[in-house]
Amino acid sequence: MAYLEIDPAAQTSRENYFLLTGLVVPRPIAWVSSLSENGVRNLAPHSYFNIVSSDPPIVHFTQTGRKDTLTNVETTGEFVINFVSVELAEAMNLTAADFPHDEDEFAWAGLEAAASTRVSPPRVAAVRAAFECRVRTILEMGNGNMVFGDVVAVHVDESVFRDGRVDMARLAAVGRLGGSWYSAVDDPFRLDRPTWANLRRATE
């Protein structure tokens, strides 16, 4: 290996963005639906997204700077995370356009909405899974606004959730890579985690 050592402090913000988002891959995508103060439906993908806690279930996504999603979740305290499967990738990408605040992005993307049960923003009817969330806290860090939310309801298509486990092939998740690249989870492989006891027994 012949490593380059890069000092982030010597790079521009844009250079660091491409370096970080090219290396932290694949990133899960939270396709966030929210409502404006006037009830306008908003949708936007966020790949700065992950689990914070499973007990209780808490997730976070980060909005860079201030766009409509941040304003909406701050105002209403609610959002839905829609999971993007392969056939929804193009519709998801369309909702990343810089729509004005008062445009209905479900309508623009030609997506049907399904009513949520615990929060006001609807989910995308065609997704195979979604989390209904209530904002726990929002932290500003660097140019990121980290939105933490309690997951108050989970919707998952029956064909995806079997015997208490999510079927990877049926979820057909999409990951964000660097630039305009994406990956599809179509070649999952399995590794069982070793235990110290098994490892020790194998060397005896």
Binding site for ligand FMN (CB under 6 A): 29, 42, 44-48, 62-64, 67-69, 93, 96, 98, 176
Query: What is the smallest separation between the CB atom of 197 and ligand FMN, expressed in angstroms?
Result: 41
Query: What is the smallest separation between the CB atom of 27 and ligand FMN, expressed in angstroms?
Result: 8
Looking at beta carbons only, is 21 or 167 nearer to ligand FMN? Answer: 21
Query: What is the smallest separation between the CB atom of 166 and ligand FMN, expressed in angstroms?
Result: 21
Looking at beta carbons only, is 48 or 106 nearer to ligand FMN? Answer: 48
Burial of 137 (0-12, 13-18, 19+ CB in 10 A): exposed
The token pair at 58 is 């808490």
Query: What is the smallest separation between the CB atom of 62 and ligand FMN, expressed in angstroms?
Result: 6
Q: Which of 145, 134, 125 is nearest to 34 (CA)?
A: 134
Looking at beta carbons only, is 161 or 177 nearer to ligand FMN? Answer: 177
Looking at beta carbons only, is 168 or 177 nearer to ligand FMN? Answer: 177
CA distance 81 to 44: 10
Name the region of 163 (left: φ>0; alpha: ψ -120 to 50; beta: rest). left
Looking at beta carbons only, is 96 or 154 nearer to ligand FMN? Answer: 96
Name the region of 172 (left: φ>0; alpha: ψ -120 to 50; beta: rest). left
Burial of 47 (0-12, 13-18, 19+ CB in 10 A): buried
Angle at 73 between CA 68 and CA 78, to 5 degrees: 140
From residue 119, give the alpha-carbon distance in Å to each of 13, 102, 132, 202: 36, 20, 6, 52
Query: What is the smallest separation between the CB atom of 34 and ligand FMN, expressed in angstroms?
Result: 8
